[in-house]
Amino acid sequence: MVVEIFEGSDLVGTGQIYALDPGMGVATAYFAPTSAYDCERHANVVDGEYLGDRTSILTARLADGGEIITCNAISIMDFPTLYECEIQLIGIDEPPFADLFGEHPEYKDY
């Protein structure tokens, strides 16, 4: 499943979900930034340094259906020195976690 991350109408990146924690309502994805992405502005963590919560400026949407995912936090962790970047959608409220990820193998194992 792919999610898109926006600041306003600007697509800052997409994420391929690879891990779930259904009990906590958390989805983790590999993050692929677009040219609109600015790690100093959009990332919570850069090379292990916490910069701040960016949830208030970011939104998450399903790439295939366009449905907005409501969650408590959107956290981008960017490690440019390692060439790794991931995103966590934390405390997903809407749509229900089971509706979003019920077919995902990790959810089925849960």
State how beta strands 59-62 and 26-33 pair. unpaired
Instruction: Write out the residue range of the structural domain in which residue 49 sits.
Output: 2-109
For the purposes of burial, counting CB atoms within 10 Å of the CB of 78, is it exposed (0-12), middle (13-18) or buried (19 or more)? buried
- pLDDT confidence band for 6 (50 / 70 / 90): very high
The residues, any chain, with a CB within 8 Å of residue 96's CB and separated by 6 or more, are none
The total number of structural domains in the chain stands at 1
pTM greater than 0.85 (yes/no): yes
At residue 65, the pLDDT reads: 73
pLDDT digits (tens, 9 = 90+) for 35-87: 999 999 999 999 999 999 999 999 999 988 778 899 999 999 999 999 999 99
